[in-house]
């Protein structure tokens, strides 16, 4: 099967990392078209997935944009749509992996007469997107997509609530390679030493630095935890949230936590870093569409404490394979971290349950089969 994948980002966020696993089985015959250059292109190339940057200008369709602003970017869109329509003639379908990719992919699909698949990695709610962007996404998906793959029930529900067609929408969770997360104890110990946190109880947070990812909630919680607890914040501001980064550093200073918090920036050795942690936290203040980091922590055999909203609630059952806390409640988070700190045996069993079930439930082989079957269902051309 020949697939033209489209993604707007040059940076490797969750949707992009997921796309690597989806595109890989089709790499002999397919292409990933990006609307921006950057580290994501390098990762695709390392995985021998053909990639092409389709435009040098980044599209100005922002989360908060109004209809007027969205229309203002049409001038930029036209050449890109023409390019995609031309390219698509050599492929069986267009697979749009992000919202801007949907805009371009929908028009390209119409012009090239190729089916469109939309992988929905977002919760289309007012908390995350402007009215205009929600309307544009739903209208284009309803009109042009043969299939919408939602990354969770939460994403599917929000899509339908925003007017999306349920009959074209299927849920497929992200896939993972469980063996990537099997890290030897010695490597984990080395990492702890490298971090200078050998004797500490390490709480990890793995996410781009952005207000809704709630790193500030974890810092607040840390100030209420035992002295031996330290935090590593792994991730960078991917979409210009420099003010927030400044605020986090200020918060660390104000709370007197300088010796207990490490900012590690964007890292590509997530499994090794997670293995060095005693517990992993997810603190999003708005509902998370899926939450790759939650599954990754489980696969590493680490207790996960997640914010109780959105996709996280489909991944974590409280006290069975992890812990759920109310979003934004740093006191609650501090209590659960302290509880994990004091009851390591009980917590370890929960983490082991999580590892076993997640290795089955999110195995990339099964997930890719689900996608292959859905593609066969909607595409007229067989592989
Ligand atoms: N991640 C990474 N390096 C970092 C921080 C995060 O590779 O420094 C990865 C993380 O392991 C996860 C992804 O980025 O696979 C984030 O996906 P998630 O679904 O948690 O959030 P999103 O970025 O999609 O909002």
pLDDT digits (tens, 9 = 90+) for 112-127: 999 999 999 999 999 8
- Cα gap 85→105, rounded to integer Å: 8
Contact present, 151 and 311 (Cβ < 8 Å): yes
**pLDDT (tens digit, 9 = 90+) per residue, 223-237?**
999 999 999 999 999
The answer as to whether 167 is a domain residue is yes
Q: How far is CA 6 from the centre of its chain?
A: 16
Alpha-helical regions (H) of the chain: 14-23, 39-46, 67-72, 74-88, 99-112, 131-144, 153-161, 185-194, 215-222, 242-254, 270-275, 292-299, 312-315, 330-342, 344-361, 364-378
Take atom 6 of ligand 1 and give the residue whose Cα is closest: 207
The tens digit of pLDDT for each residue in 287-331 reads: 999 999 999 999 999 999 999 999 999 999 999 999 999 999 999
Instruction: State whether 189 and 119 are in the same domain.
Output: no
Helix (H) or strand (E) holding 66: none
3-state DSSP assignment of residue 3: strand
Give me ligand 1 centre to Cα 291, in Å: 8
Q: How many angstroms separate the alpha carbon of residue 335 from the centre of ligand 1? A: 25
More confident residue, 128 or 27: 27
The answer to whether residue 371 is domain-embedded is: yes
Index of the ligand 1 atom closest to the CA of residue 15: 24
25 plus 163 within the same structural domain: yes
Q: Which pLDDT band holds residue 58 (cuts at 50, 70, 90)?
A: low
> Do 353 and 316 fall within a single domain?
yes
Q: Is the model's pLDDT at 49 over the cut of 70?
A: yes
With vertex at residue 309, the alpha carbon angle to CA 304 and CA 315, rounded to the nearest 5 degrees, is 45
User: Which ligand 1 atom sits closest to the C-alpha of 121?
Assistant: 24
Do 64 and 154 reside in the same domain of the chain? yes
In the prediction, which pLDDT does 60 show?
55
Q: Residue of the nearest CA to atom 3 in ligand 1?
A: 267
Number of H helices, E strands in the chain: 16, 13
User: Same domain for 196 and 171?
Assistant: no
Mutate to test the pocket of ligand 1, among 208, 267, 297, 364 (most ligand atoms within 8 A of CB): 208
| Helix or strand holding residue 202 (H, E) | strand 201-206
Question: Is 73 part of any domain?
Answer: yes
Q: Do 170 and 34 sit in the same domain of this protein? A: yes
pLDDT at 71: 46
Per the CB < 8 A criterion, the answer to whether 311 and 333 are in contact is: no
Q: How confident is the model at residue 97 (pLDDT cuts 50, 70, 90)?
A: very high
Q: Supply 179's token pair.
A: 């063996």
CB burial of 201-216 (b: ≥16 within 10 Å; e: otherwise) equals bbbbbbbbbbebbbbb
Claim to verify: residue 106 and residue 16 sit in the same structural domain: yes
* Candidate from 98, 206, 235, 281 with most ligand 1 atoms within 8 A of CB, to mutate: 206
Q: Please measure the distance between the N-terminal and C-terminal CA atoms of the chain and give it in whole angstroms.
A: 5
pLDDT at 16 over 80: yes
Tokens of 1: 């099967």
For residue 15, report the distance from its CA to the centre of ligand 1, in Å.
9
**146 shares a domain with 259:** no
Rounded distance between C-alpha atoms, residue 152 and residue 178, angstroms: 20
- Considering only CA atoms, which residue is closest to atom 22 of ligand 1? 14
Q: What is the pLDDT of residue 7?
A: 98
The three-state secondary structure class of 213 is helix
Q: What radius of gyration do the chain's Cα atoms show?
A: 21
Report the pLDDT averaged over residues 143-162: 98
- 296: CA distance to ligand 1 center in Å? 10
**Ligand 1 atom showing the smallest separation from residue 236 Cα:** 8
- Report which of 63, 125, 99, 120 is spatially closest to residue 310, judged by C-alpha positions: 125
**Which residues form the pocket of ligand 1, taking CB atoms under 6 Å from any ligand atom?**
13-15, 17, 206-208, 234-235, 266-268, 270, 290-293, 296
Q: 37 C-alpha vs ligand 1 centroid, how far in Å?
A: 19
b/e sequence 160-189, b meaning 16+ C-beta within 10 Å: bebebeeebbbbbbbbbebeebebeeeebe
Report residue 75's pLDDT band, with 50, 70 and 90 as the boundaries. Answer: confident
pLDDT in tens, 62-73: 555 554 454 446
In this structure, is residue 21 part of a structural domain?
A: yes
pLDDT tens digits, one per residue of 18-43: 999 999 999 999 999 999 999 999 99
Instruction: Determine the atom of ligand 1 nearest the C-alpha atom of 267.
Output: 8
The answer on 218 and 97 residing in a single domain is no
**Is there a single domain that holds both residue 191 and residue 152?**
no
Residue nearest to atom 13 of ligand 1 (CA): 14
Q: Are residues 225 and 255 in the same domain?
A: yes
Which residues constitute the domain of residue 355? 178-361
Percent of the chain with pLDDT over 70: 95
Ligand 1: which residue has its CA nearest to atom 16? 14
Residues 239-288: pLDDT tens digits?
889 999 999 999 999 999 999 999 999 999 999 999 999 999 999 999 99
Asked whether residue 35 is domain-assigned, the answer is: yes
| CA-nearest residue, atom 17 of ligand 1 | 14
- 383 within some domain: no
Atom of ligand 1 nearest to the CA of 208: 5
CATH number at residue 26: 3.40.50.2000
pLDDT digits (tens, 9 = 90+) for 340-381: 999 999 999 999 999 999 999 999 999 999 999 999 998 875
Domain total of the chain? 2
Distance 249 CA to ligand 1 centre (A): 21
Output the CA 78–ligand 1 centroid distance in Å: 32
Residue 294 CA: nearest ligand 1 atom is 20
Q: What is the pLDDT of residues 129-138, one digit of tens each?
A: 999 999 999 9
User: Ligand 1 centroid to 300 CA: how many Å?
Assistant: 15
> Are residue 186 and residue 312 in the same domain, yes or no?
yes
What are the residues whose beta carbons fall under 8 Å from the beta carbon of 188, sequence distance 6 or more? 272, 275, 276
For residue 6, what are the β-bridge partners? 33, 96
CA of 266 to the centre of ligand 1 (A): 9
Give the whole-angstrom CA distance, residue 285 versus residue 244: 14
Are the C-beta atoms of residues 221 and 254 closer than 8 Å to each other?
no
> In Å, what is the CA distance from 75 to each residue of 57, 64, 65, 82, 111?
11, 19, 16, 12, 17
């Amino acid at each position: 099967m020949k697939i033209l994948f489209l993604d707007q980002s040059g940076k490797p966020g969750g949707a992009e990392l997921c796309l690597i696993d989806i595109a890989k089985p089709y790499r002999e015959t397919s292409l990933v078209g990006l609307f921006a250059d950057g580290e994501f292109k390098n990762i695709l190339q390392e995985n021998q997935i053909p990639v092409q940057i389709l435009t040098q200008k980044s599209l100005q369709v922002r989360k908060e944009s109004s209809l007027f602003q969205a229309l203002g970017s049409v001038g930029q869109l036209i050449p890109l749509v023409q390019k995609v329509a031309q390219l698509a003639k050599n492929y069986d379908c267009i697979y749009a992996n992000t919202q801007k990719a949907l805009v371009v992919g929908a028009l390209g699909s119409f012009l090239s007469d190729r089916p469109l698949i939309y992988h929905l990695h977002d919760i289309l709610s007012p908390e995350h997107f402007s009215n205009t962007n929600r309307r544009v996404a739903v209208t284009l998906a309803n009109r042009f997509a043969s299939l919408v793959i939602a990354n969770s029930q939460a994403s599917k529900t929000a899509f339908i609530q925003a007017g999306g067609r349920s009959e074209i929408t299927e849920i497929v969770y992200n896939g993972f390679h469980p063996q990537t997360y099997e890290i030897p104890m010695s490597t984990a110990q080395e990492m702890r030493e490298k971090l200078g946190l050998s004797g500490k109880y390490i709480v990890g947070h793995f996410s781009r630095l952005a207000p809704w990812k709630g790193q500030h909630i974890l810092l607040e919680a840390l100030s209420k935890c035992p002295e031996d607890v330290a935090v590593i914040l792994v991730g960078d501001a991917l979409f210009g949230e420099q003010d927030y980064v400044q605020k986090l550093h200020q918060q660390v200073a104000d709370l007197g936590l300088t010796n207990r918090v490490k900012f590690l920036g964007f890292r590509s050795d997530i499994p090794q870093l997670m293995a060095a942690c005693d517990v992993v936290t997810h603190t999003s203040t708005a509902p998370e569409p899926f939450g790759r980091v939650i599954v990754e922590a489980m696969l590493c055999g680490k207790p996960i404490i997640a914010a109780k909203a959105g996709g996280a609630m489909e991944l974590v059952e409280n006290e069975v394979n992890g812990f759920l806390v109310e979003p934004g409640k740093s006191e609650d988070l501090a209590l659960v971290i302290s509880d994990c700190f004091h009851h390591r045996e009980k917590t370890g069993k929960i983490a082991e349950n999580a590892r076993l079930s997640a290795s089955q439930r999110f195995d990339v082989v099964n997930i890719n089969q689900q996608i292959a079957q859905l593609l066969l269902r909607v595409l007229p051309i067989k592989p």
